[in-house]
Amino acid sequence: MRLKIVAAEQVVRYALRAGSACVKVLARDVIRVDRVQLYHCTGGKPYHTERSAQCAAARETLSYEFFDNNHNIIVQYCASLSIDLLTHFCTPDFSDISEKPDKMDLEFRNLTYTVHSRILKGTSRQVVKGVNGRFRSGQLVAIMGPSGAGKSSLLNAISGYRSAGVTGELLVNGETRDEHSFQRSSCYITQEDLLQPLLTVREAMDVAASLKLPRGVKAPSEEILQELGLLDHQHTRTDQLSGGQKKRLSIALELVNNPPVFFLDEPTSGLDNVTTVQCVKLLKLLARQGRTVVCTIHQPAASLFELFDQAYIIADGLCIYQGDTEAMVPHLTSLGLVCPRHHNPADFIIELTETQEYIQMLSQEILNGTLYKSTKIDASSEPPASTMQLKICYQTDDNVAETEIVLSTDKCTYMKEYTAASSTTLASKMSKDSSVAWMKMQKVETRGYPTTYFQQFAVLLTRMLLQISRNRQALWIQTIHHIGCAILVGVCFFNMANDGTQMFNHLKMCVGLIIFFAYTQIMVPVLVYPQEVKLVKKEHFNRWYNLIPYYGALTVSKLPVQVSLNIIFCSIVYFMVGVPYAHDRFLTFCLIGNVVSLVSEGVGMAIGSVFSVRNGCAIGPAAIAPFLGLAIYGFDFAHKIPLMMNIVMKTSFIRCGVVAMVLTIFGFGREPLECNDVYCHFAKPNVLLQYLDIERSSVWFEIFIMIFIMVSVRFLCFMGLRWRFAT
Ligand SMILES: Nc1ncnc2c1ncn2[C@@H]1O[C@H](COP(=O)(O)OP(=O)(O)OP(=O)(O)O)[C@@H](O)[C@H]1O
């Protein structure tokens, strides 16, 4: 029974930290509650007349209201308490965990972040300068400062989102943190709402749950959506949500595996005032449920500023204030910097940062974040005299237990707004087994992923195929593009493939076909992939999946559409230009088209994975140009091309494609071409091959080289992604 007492204490401690003295007791194993008494801490005089539990019918949720001596209700609402704690409390086999409250207090010491100039080589700048600080669980922390002060840089450094250029000590619960397990326990929500397009809210939640939770653990997706006000929109597509809804969905997706630490970069940017307040209240609720919630925010309104528990102000890379939000004005006043009445304290301190001397002075006063200015009662410290004592006496199957809990009522009314708004909890709605498993999730200290690589591959592949199939517009455009271009090529070279007088047209056609495959496939990833990389970076950082299964799924998912369209294109061209039909020739013709298309897509993805759309647009065509130059070089003096140049030309997959295409059309035991002239020098296919000096080449060798190039560029793309995600 000791477990239940511990849990009850936790529940009340939680309520206390939430600023509320109300207690909701979930006590499934309790048969009846005998007494609930509230005492003044000093003197032990009963504060409230004894109140027996009205809900003696034990297995219900019990809730209490506390009255003062005049029978005025001093606590009207029962709080929506920590999901974690309630789950512990109503789950006896969770004893090992309930003894150790789940909290992640973050600390950083002498943290610096240095950026290196890309233009002036060798020059670097410290944007975060040896700052210190601590963020406690259950607290909503605002990192504030003027524009360019280093807020995002600091958040990125603390969260681990950026590691290059970061030095200093990062601790969790007083111990140096292991980055892998920390990433498993934390999540980072970017300023930009990066959501998978073409999925509904519910589908996005299901995908997140399949990736982030191990088999057998059911995510409380419906409850999370309800809690975040998204249940009514669960069948709406993510790209059709409003800004505030997108933000809430970003949070909901990360809540799926219940991480104890949330980092958010400017979660209120782009939101109107009402939505901003809703968003911050939601974050506060998350913090009240025992999480550490840290976000950067631009100058908030006074009413919004008050909602934060802790302010961490940074200016010019230095910490100029760290502490409770309401302790900030008294602290500044004590330094002779009096905030005018009715002036927004958040504006006031930002205005102070316009003067360099103030920055230096304030930073020295707070020892660059080493000190913490506080006004609140610490729930874990000795209770001051003004606090009260609560006694709950209850009976279980085999025992009578009593627990005494110290609590403070000083913030009761302040929190009503939040607690009343969410009187239901996720845990209370979940089945016992799944809630136990779900809660255990975050306790598992693991460096790995909750799912196997194969599961990740399967889930990601399903998601990608679903998205491709829903992107009807893109499918139509690609289909029309392939069929249209095929007909155009077919009309230009109609029935020429069997004409012995058209040698140059044969060559032009082969070059044209290969260029079609190359350009079509290279530009799409260059334009589309950079945006996807940002989204993948966020999901990968939040440890949804490993890069290997993602990359595998990405490669495989594109094949069905790409291969089908290439085959349609090849079929139309093949028959319109009049190449004599033979099974092996036709299949090889289609194979070459597909291989060139896959190599080009790999080149496009390698560019898109590293460069922005703007740079990629310049680099994409520029990257193809040398391959193209090498492809058409020397057709009319093939025998005179030096050996070295021939070797260099082999690096051009376009050249390999053209050679393979010529060998396919004019090889495979091709009969002599028709000749409607007096003399057709190239009527015999072998003469053309000899003229081009490729009669000894093999189609399969050319295809092998192209496959080698394809594997190389795809490996480069993979390394590019790894590099992007590691910096
Ligand atoms: N990768 C980088 N390369 C060069 N300079 C950088 C880099 N990242 C940040 N900086 C510089 O560091 C400073 C702080 O940037 P940061 O984005 O952290 O500021 P911020 O306080 O979040 O600003 P804002 O509120 O305007 O978003 C800025 O001057 C910025 O130009």
492-534: per-residue pLDDT in tens? 999 888 888 888 888 889 999 999 999 888 888 898 888 889 9
Q: Report the separation in Å between the CA atom of 119 and the middle of ligand 1, taken as the mean of its atom positions.
A: 16
- Neighbouring CB atoms inside 10 A of 538's CB total 22
Do residues 351 and 366 lie in contact, with contact meaning Cβ atoms separated by under 8 Å?
no
pLDDT band at 401 (very low <50, low <70, confident <90, very high): low
670, pLDDT greater than 60: yes
Residue of the CA atom closest to atom 11 of ligand 1: 127
Does 114 lie in the same domain as 22? no
Measured from CB, residues less than 6 Å from any atom of ligand 1 are 115, 127, 145, 147-153, 298
- Is residue 4 classed exposed, middle or buried when 0-12, 13-18 and 19+ CB atoms within 10 A define those classes? buried
Of residues 267, 46, 269, the one with CA closest to residue 141: 267
Do residues 139 and 113 lie in contact, with contact meaning Cβ atoms separated by under 8 Å?
no
Q: Report the separation in Å between the CA atom of 152 and the middle of ligand 1, taken as the mean of its atom positions.
A: 7
Does 618 lie in the same domain as 706? yes
Domain's final residue, options 441, 467, 487 = 441
User: Is residue 525 included in any domain, yes or no?
Assistant: yes
Alpha-carbon distance 631 to 387, whole Å?
84
- 428 or 528: which leads in pLDDT: 528
pLDDT band at 118 (very low <50, low <70, confident <90, very high): low
- DSSP H helices, 296-445, are 302-307, 328-334, 345-352, 356-365, 412-421, 426-429, 432-441
Does 496 lie in the same domain as 402? no
User: Is residue 520 included in any domain, yes or no?
Assistant: yes
Give, rounded to a whole angstrom, the gap between the first and last alpha carbons of the chain. 50
Cα Rg of the chain, angstroms = 34
Alpha-carbon distance 264 to 147, whole Å?
17
Interaxial angle between packed helices 472-492 and 547-576, expressed in degrees from 0 to 180 and rounded to the nearest 10: 30
Does 110 lie in the same domain as 98? no
Q: Report the separation in Å between the CA atom of 318 and the middle of ligand 1, taken as the mean of its atom positions.
A: 13
Q: Report the separation in Å between the CA atom of 299 and the middle of ligand 1, taken as the mean of its atom positions.
A: 16
User: Is residue 298 included in any domain, yes or no?
Assistant: yes
pLDDT of residue 53: 31
Of all atoms in ligand 1, which is nearest to the CA of residue 156? 18
Angle, CA of 719, 722 and 726, to the nearest 5°: 140
Alpha-carbon distance 616 to 239, whole Å?
25
Does 135 lie in the same domain as 210? yes
Does 250 lie in the same domain as 195? yes
Residue of the CA atom closest to atom 9 of ligand 1: 153
pLDDT band at 400 (very low <50, low <70, confident <90, very high): low
281-299: per-residue pLDDT in tens? 888 888 887 889 999 998 8
Alpha-carbon distance 310 to 655, whole Å?
63
Angle, CA of 71, 76 and 78, to the nearest 5°: 135
Q: Report the separation in Å between the CA atom of 300 and the middle of ligand 1, taken as the mean of its atom positions.
A: 19
Does 297 lie in the same domain as 232? yes
The residue assigned the tokens 């700052």 is 131
Alpha-carbon distance 711 to 716, whole Å?
9
Share of residues in the chain with pLDDT > 90 (%)? 41
Q: Give bridge partners of residue 403 from the DSSP assignment.
A: 392
Alpha-carbon distance 220 to 400, whole Å?
34
Of residues 365, 387, 364, 388, the one with CA closest to residue 376: 387
Does 664 lie in the same domain as 697? yes
Does 337 lie in the same domain as 311? yes
310, pLDDT greater than 50: yes
Domain's final residue, options 317, 335, 365 = 365
Average pLDDT of the chain is 77
Alpha-carbon distance 283 to 202, whole Å?
21
Most confident of 18-32, 42-56, 557-571: 557-571
Domain's final residue, options 365, 398, 430 = 365
58-81: per-residue pLDDT in tens? 223 334 444 433 444 333 223 222
Q: Where are the beta strands (DSSP E) in 121-165?
A: 124-135, 140-144
Residue of the CA atom closest to atom 23 of ligand 1: 148
Does 545 lie in the same domain as 516? yes
The residue assigned the tokens 């990968």 is 540
User: Is residue 379 included in any domain, yes or no?
Assistant: no
Q: What domain count does the chain have?
A: 3
463, pLDDT greater than 60: yes
Q: What is the CATH number of the domain that holds 177?
A: 3.40.50.300
Ligand 1: residue of 115, 125, 263, 265 to mutate (most ligand atoms within 8 A of CB) is 115
Cβ-proximal residues to 478 (8 Å cutoff; 6+ apart), any chain = 561, 565
Does 481 lie in the same domain as 344? no
Ligand 1: residue of 116, 151, 314 to mutate (most ligand atoms within 8 A of CB) is 151
Of all atoms in ligand 1, which is nearest to the CA of residue 150? 18
The residue segments making up the domain with residue 393 are: 2-102+387-441
Residue of the CA atom closest to atom 14 of ligand 1: 150
Does 181 lie in the same domain as 63? no
Q: What is the DSSP letter of 237?
A: B
